[in-house]
Amino acid sequence: MEKQEWILKELQKIYDTSDDYYLVTIAKATQDIIREQQKRIEQMEGEIDGTLWSPKRWGE
Amino acid sequence: MKTLVIVSHPDILESSSQQFFLSSIKNRKDITIHHLESEYPDGNIDVKREQTLLREHDRIIFQFPFYWYSSPPLLKHWQDVVLEEGFAYGEGGNALKGKEFRLIIMIGVPEKEYQAGGSELFSINELTKPFQAMAHKTGMIYLKAMPIFQFGYMTPEEKMDHLITYWQMLTMENDDSLRNREEWLIEQLEYFIDQGLNKETSDILRFAIEIIQENRFELDNLQIVLDDIRRHS
């Protein structure tokens, strides 16, 4: 996760300082997709935990 | 994939939304911008030239401001003369079959008004039925439209988000899954890197590509685990 936070910050630096509008736009889109991936990963991990802890499985 | 953007706007230089979107793609080799009112100021359309252009592209876009729930008049005239029998439909008329078609429409009224109970009463899907029928009759695949509502009122962030969506609408394969959007974004990042950015910026973008790929690897592995758990539960 540290690498992820670092790249988000670096992309934010491009967003904040670049004069190239299209580069700024693509930097924002890259941040957005990394965050979307992170959210999806968390959701899937949560789903795995939830399924493993399901009462249906307690009898196994 | 080659994309043809057929733009119809009688006063395009005065349109900040058209300028915003079109200027962002003017150097793209895979996109042809074709502004009808500039090409044919007298309205005299070169039918054979237009048909050749259509044949040379895989995705056809109509981009225009919404005038009385339709396109400006020259685009309607273009349809009347270019999409002729034997070319676009009828006996031997299969030149457009299998191509993709999409509308990109600039609209001055808020989105919420385009529904039953709203001031415009009908949805954009309902109001664009003639274009859907045109795509159907000519054998084109009708892709989701991109209506752009009240561009002038958007925040800078909203404008950027719309620009990304616009680029996707023109160049991304017709699949808006996360996986496909990742692949598309990586292609765009590589395109930017190839444009000759400074080393520091290029390195950041390259590292971002690696992170996106690592995350995809993790997502695919999690999916395998989930599928396995579901099979055994």
pTM equals: 0.94
pLDDT tens-digit profile of B165-185?
A: 999 999 999 999 999 999 999
Quick check: B226 and A48 CB within 8 A? yes
Quick check: B207 and A22 CB within 8 A? no
Query: To 10 degrees, what angle do helices B178-194 and B199-232 make?
Result: 160
Q: Which residue out of A24, A44, A56 would a mutagenesis test of the B interface target, given it has the greatest number of B Cβ atoms within 10 Å?
A: A44
Residue A58: pLDDT band (50, 70, 90) is low
Whether residue A24 contacts residue A14, with contact meaning beta carbons closer than 8 Å, is answered with yes
C-alpha distances (whole Å) from B178 to each of A32, A37, A38, B76, B215 are 11, 8, 12, 36, 11
- In whole angstroms, what is the distance from residue B102 CA to residue B79 CA? 15
B119 Cβ contact list (under 8 Å, min separation 6) = B109, B113
- By residue count, chain B amounts to 233
Does the structure show a pLDDT above 70 at B134?
yes
Distance (Å) from the alpha carbon of A20 to chain B's nearest alpha carbon: 10
Q: What is the mean pLDDT of residues B150-158?
A: 97
Whether residue B181 contacts residue A33, with contact meaning beta carbons closer than 8 Å, is answered with yes
Residue A50 confidence (pLDDT): 83
Quick check: A26 and B178 CB within 8 A? no
Cross-chain CB nearest to B208 (options A22, A25, A30): A30
Quick check: A37 and B208 CB within 8 A? no
Window A:1-60, CB contacts with B under 8 Å: 3-4, 7, 10-11, 14, 18, 22-26, 28-30, 32-34, 36-38, 40-41, 44-45, 47-48, 51-52, 54, 56-57
Q: Which chain A positions have a beta carbon within 8 Å of B201's beta carbon? A: 14, 18, 23
Window B:143-172, CB contacts with A under 8 Å: 157, 160-161, 163-164
Beta-bridge partner residues of B31: B3
Quick check: B208 and A11 CB within 8 A? yes
Distance (Å) from the alpha carbon of A43 to chain B's nearest alpha carbon: 10
B81 CB near a chain A CB, below 8 Å?
Answer: no
Whether residue B156 contacts residue A25, with contact meaning beta carbons closer than 8 Å, is answered with no
- In whole angstroms, what is the distance from residue A39 CA to residue A44 CA? 9
Does the structure show a pLDDT above 80 at A57?
no
Q: Which chain A positions have a beta carbon within 8 Å of B184's beta carbon? A: none
pLDDT tens-digit profile of B17-66?
A: 999 999 999 989 999 999 999 999 999 999 999 999 999 999 999 999 99
Beta-bridge partner residues of B107: B149
Quick check: A10 and B219 CB within 8 A? no
**Residue bearing the bigger pLDDT, A53 or B111:** B111
Q: Which of B14, B114, B191 is nearest to A30 (CA)?
A: B191
Distance (Å) from the alpha carbon of B126 to chain A's nearest alpha carbon: 31
Does the structure show a pLDDT above 90 at B190?
yes
Q: Which chain A positions have a beta carbon within 8 Å of B205's beta carbon? A: 30
Does the structure show a pLDDT above 70 at A1?
no
Does the structure show a pLDDT above 60 at B227?
yes
